[in-house]
Homo-oligomer: A and B are copies of this chain.
């Protein structure tokens, strides 16, 4: 397989990068990582930070977070876990179910060289993990996922949690480590009060599960969950022992819509991630500027990107390889700034949703100001294996 083309060299200027390309502003990235550590250290000293790898899938950024006090990482896939273990990060919680003996063998194999735990919500799956762990001569840490409102994976709170934990305690090659209680939708409740209230609901369900465990005499000292939008509430709950924020390193248009209590936009963390795109065609019409980043460079599941330097211009998807700036056919006039753009110019797009956008790229290019300082592989990229 051909190695992916490197879109630039270290020392190049931003204008020299082959587009579309994913770039990170290193000053903002470092600021975001340090800010998260500071907030948690100062306000919630008993809570640990286990950032989520699914945002960046990039060992280089993971090491920056480890150096800033993270205790380890969350991963969503075996590919991400492989990438971090290969890079020497040796404490990983896979916040997802791993199904089937083939895949379980890969995870248990990694657990022979690193501290790996994984999610479970199904008795047969727990038995499969126990069998493979026995075969490979290791005891695997497993974490019960609780359904706390996401209507996705997880067992119901309370008794069903205790029942699955009981099974785990009775099997020889698995160890009940604790509970995974994550509600993705809570991150994107726009009003701060709503985010807080939703986490209170989650905490009530966690407590219900802890009581059921307690009745059976099963100790549980590890409760993990929370993300960039809600982590302060999990961290202040005194129930959660660990938070899993991911998006705070990059932020995106969607997170930019969250509000503080006073109605102002939540901007504790800065946008650091951009897709660079080149003006490819000015077509034949003042209402149309075509850029070279389309659906293969930007995930539009949570809305279209914003233009960092031209906030009044609208980006429209123009297919797999194209974006069309502002309205396409309706005769509306372009904002005046459009006159400044000419074929060959580079624009910076703030992605609508950072995680799946990163997953489309092979490289994250680190910029210090306008200069390329590093080119990092998105080593955990993939369809989700």
Contact = CB atoms under 8 A, between A and B. Distances in A.
Given A4-B1, A383-B296, A281 B21 contact: no
A344 B317 CA distance: 37
Nearest to A151: B328
Interface string A341-385: 001100000000001100111100000000000000101001111
Contact of A382 (B4, B280, B283): B4
Kindly state the interface size class of chain A when it binds its partner: 35 or more
* Chain A, interface SS category: loop
B155 A1 contact: no
Given A97-B280, A156-B284, A343-B122, A18 B54 contact: no
A83 B285 CA distance: 34
B281 A122 contact: yes
Contacts of A344: 99-100, 124
A83 to B, nearest CB: 6
Given A329-B151, A385-B18, A281 B2 contact: no
A194 interface: no
A309 interface: no
A152 B295 contact: no
Contact of A383 (B1, B293, B356, B383): B293
Contacts of A284: 147, 154-156, 160
Given A2-B83, A356-B295, A278 B100 contact: yes
A25 interface: no
A93 to B, nearest CB: 15
B288 A295 contact: no
Nearest to A329: B151
Give the number of copies in the complex.
Answer: 2
Interface stretch (A74-82, A110-118, A169-177): A74-82
A280 B97 CA distance: 7
Interface stretch (A30-38, A199-207, A233-241, A297-305): A297-305
19 contacts: A1-B3, A1-B377, A2-B83, A22-B383, A99-B280, A151-B285, A152-B281, A152-B283, A152-B322, A153-B281, A154-B281, A154-B284, A295-B301, A295-B356, A320-B355, A320-B359, A359-B360, A362-B382, A362-B383
A344 B129 CA distance: 13
B103 A151 contact: no
A2 B283 contact: no
